Chains A and B, each alone.
Chain A
Amino acid sequence: MAEEKKWYTGMFSSEDWWSFWIGLFFVLVGIIAAATGADISGWVIGFPKWVDITNSLSPDHSALMSGVSSLIVSYIIFTIATCIGAYFMGMDMKKYFWAWTLIFWLSALVYILSKNAYIQATSIERPDFGIGWSLSIGGAHYIVALFIGLLIGNLAPKSFREFMYHGARPEWFIKIAIVFLGCKLGMKVVDSTGYALELLLVGACATVAAYLLFWPLVYTLCRKGFKLTREWAATLASGISICGVSASIATGGAIRARPIVPVMISSLIVVFAVIELVVLPPVLTYTPWFNEPMAAASSLGLTVKTDGADAASGAITDQLMRTRAQEELGVQWEEGWITSASVMTKIWIDMFIGVWALVLAMLWLRFVEKRPDEKVEKMEVWWRFPKFVLGYFVAWIAVGVLGLTVIGPDAMDWGIHPFESTARHLFFILTFTSIGLVTNFRKLAEENMGRLAFAYGLGLLLIIIPLGWIIAWIFHNGMMPPTVG
């Protein structure tokens, strides 16, 4: 299984590691800017709300350059960074470059148009823009990006869709954004809230409980209810219980399932995750879950089964809930905490993939393949460990420790904000566009996918979502996002 592997295998060839390298490279740029005062990070393009389109672009450090220059510089720098990663990952560089370019500019266009104040301004912000009405749809840019991606991914000519797949890498983009999110938690440590550590702790506890309840229940449903074979049942149970695509692939490898098994389960996971991404944020925002925003966000981490869709649904919920809180309660919750709660729960789940793959590998060797004497390599845990999670923690600790000691909070915030916030949002929208592009609803219509889809859908509705909601509430009840100021 892993005889030829070293501890550093994949360090320059896997998507996970390239999320780590690219994410931390930019975090380092932000830290150097903070330490030296040299403005090498402020070029990152931001997309503010606007009524006059000439105000629709602004670099993070607004005095540094014009908005258009910032957009072009951001395109060039992020293109170079991702192309280096794509090269080492063995992608077709020409196709990646052109597909990425299309995705970047399409996402930027959607971002600009959707941030119009008539679409997104809250009632409190309307006087600032001089407008009398607005739709107050916070996060509209994410929804529009997803919709445009889905239109292209499902209705465009096949040759064009296949071309776009070369640049549409939602898991990669969101993992880079998650490394940036680590900086936000680092800044919160600097602010001495202690809240970030509480969130980390309760997220870990919720994950352990959820993990060990989800998997056996779904496995039993698949085996006894749907009469699936062990390899289909185990792979589906891991996919729906743990961390979607990564878990189904890890489980497929651990139990030596045929390659088609994790591939087909993965396509189901992606389709269902998009349905959850569209349905769950408004459900959570406009039901009594609104009174438990952090628990609601954590439930997304437990129930939405890809990193991209989870962080994306957390970002939409963050926007929707903050907009509603501002409109109805007159309270301004800090941006990013609701997203952080959904991501943090998911991160813990991601970390368990390796352990669970190891457990399943040992069980299958002993009971299915009847080879109890064969040893399973313990390094599997490390190889299966999601490396972008390392990046997330390194960013968190580096920003937190340096911000508290040698650099200082104000300088750190100035240097790191372009990546902690602005670039993170840019990579979020790239993720939304890409999720739409790679989601193919036609897969569900394929023969015999119906049975698997039914098993997956029922497992999600009867086990994962209800249990996830209960567990999220038990471990996060009463937690509220900090308010601005």
Chain B
Amino acid sequence: MSQEQHDLNEEVSHEAEPWEQWESNLVKWSLIIGVGALIVFGALVNLFVLH
């Protein structure tokens, strides 16, 4: 087994860190802003550009 494969096996198999609150916040706020952008930009584009 090459050193690269050995490293990969170790790294991918390595036990994941516990999920933390800041990760929840990052995911939550990204989704909120993303959905907001989808609604606002989607409405504006459909009203003023596409039709």
Report A's interface with B, CB cutoff 8 A: 198, 201-202, 205-206, 208-213, 215-217, 219-220, 223-224, 227-230, 232-233, 258, 260-261, 264, 363, 366-367, 446-449, 451-452, 471, 474-479
Contacts and interface: CB of A to CB of B under 8 A. Distances in A.
The residue among A205, A210, A215, A232 with the most chain B CB atoms within 10 A of its own CB is A205
Contacts of A229: 11, 14-17
Contacts of B5: 446-448
B8 A471 contact: no
A37 B9 CA distance: 62
B30 A475 contact: no
Interface of B: 1, 4-5, 7-9, 11-17, 19-20, 22-23, 26-28, 30-31, 33-35, 37-38, 41-42, 44-46, 49-51
A446 B7 CA distance: 12
B21 to A, nearest CB: 9
9 contacts: A201-B49, A205-B41, A208-B34, A223-B23, A228-B12, A452-B12, A475-B42, A476-B50, A478-B50
B38 A448 contact: no
B49 A212 contact: no
Contacts of B31: 212-213, 216-217
A392 B28 CA distance: 35
B50 to A, nearest CB: 5
Contacts of B8: 260, 264, 446-449
B12 A205 contact: no
A212 B34 contact: yes
A202 B50 contact: yes
Given A202-B50, A367-B20, A478-B51, A209 B34 contact: yes
A219 B27 contact: yes
B37 A475 contact: no
B36 to A, nearest CB: 9
A363 B20 CA distance: 12
Contact of B34 (A213, A219, A447): A213
